[in-house]
Amino acid sequence: MLGQAHQPILYSFSTTDQLVDALAKFVVKVQKDAIDKKGRFTLALSGGSLPKQLKGIVGHEGIKWDKWHVYYADERVVPLDHPDSNHNLCQTEFYSKTSIPAGNIHPINTEYLDDLEELADDYEQQLITQFAAKDSARFPIFDLILLGMGPDGHTASLFPGHELLQEGDRWIAYIEDSPKPPPKRITMTLPVLNHAAKVAFVAAGEGKQDTLHTVLDKPEEGLPSSRIKPVPSGQLYWFTDDAATKKTEYPRSEFHPPA
């Protein structure tokens, strides 16, 4: 039986630079704590606007890149060098500026681009290899998952009203009819996202105003982003800017740079 989720912690910054800086300090602290405790840091990244917001981490003190193990919260089913690939975006915006060992970055297996079921199974197997031998939980427990939120409230490749929101068993699922192109994708399922120790959304800009208001002030509407509630002891954070939170009534917290 899972416990109650903690309330989300909302940070809203007046500038993008402040958001990027705070996010960097937060990620560096989470990786330090994970490495001190378990000798590795497991992270899942999203595509979209997120990878650019990671630039503050590069060059930060106290990072042990060789301990990072990076996966994708979702991925578009395209070759890895395709402009739509989340891996390609992360490579350009982030990995290329770090020294994360190539073998610690886990893209989809492009042998299976024509078989979504095999592709999702293969990616799930990659997670099982990383997690199952070390943790006894039913679902993997990532140290940190970084998510974006689309203007329709989707997160990863979990879209409003889609049957994948009901998936309670699989770690990785596939979708062939994504309303946002490209249509074929794989995604971590809600139970995986909700078993992470920490999940942080990064959502900035005026274009996210209405959705953020709905997601945080009216969670009962059940948009996919409102369904992220890490349990039993996980914590959800929102790193946003004042343009995005203009209509949000949910209380903001003050960001204190971690020691």
Ligand X SMILES: O=C1O[C@H](COP(=O)(O)O)[C@@H](O)[C@H](O)[C@H]1O
How far apart are CB 43 and ligand X at their closest, in Å? 14
Token code pair at residue 209: 């105003």
To ligand X, the closest distance from the beta carbon of 32 in angstroms equals: 25
Q: Which is nearer to ligand X, 67 or 184 (CB)?
A: 184
Closest CA to 248 of 193, 183, 203: 203
As measured in angstroms, the least distance from the Cβ of 127 to ligand X is 17
Q: What is the residue whose two structure tokens read 């274009």?
A: 207
In Å, how far are 25, 183, 225, 230, 256 from 200, measured between CA atoms? 13, 25, 11, 10, 16
In angstroms, give the least distance from the CB of 4 to ligand X.
26
Nearer to ligand X, 46 or 245 (CB): 46
Q: Are 54 and 68 in contact (CB under 8 A)?
A: no
* 3-state per-residue secondary structure call for 195-211: HCCEEEEEECCHHHHHH
Q: Binding residues for ligand X, per CB under 6 A?
A: 46-50, 74, 86, 147-148, 150, 156-157, 180
Q: Which is nearer to ligand X, 48 or 234 (CB)?
A: 48
**Measured from the CB atom, is 78 or 156 closer to ligand X?**
156
CB of 149 to ligand X, least distance (A): 6
CB burial class (10 A; 0-12, 13-18, 19+) of residue 219? middle
Position of minimal CB gap to ligand X: 48
Partnered with residue 147 across adjacent β-strands are 201
Question: Is the Cβ of residue 130 or residue 157 nearer to ligand X in the bound state?
Answer: 157
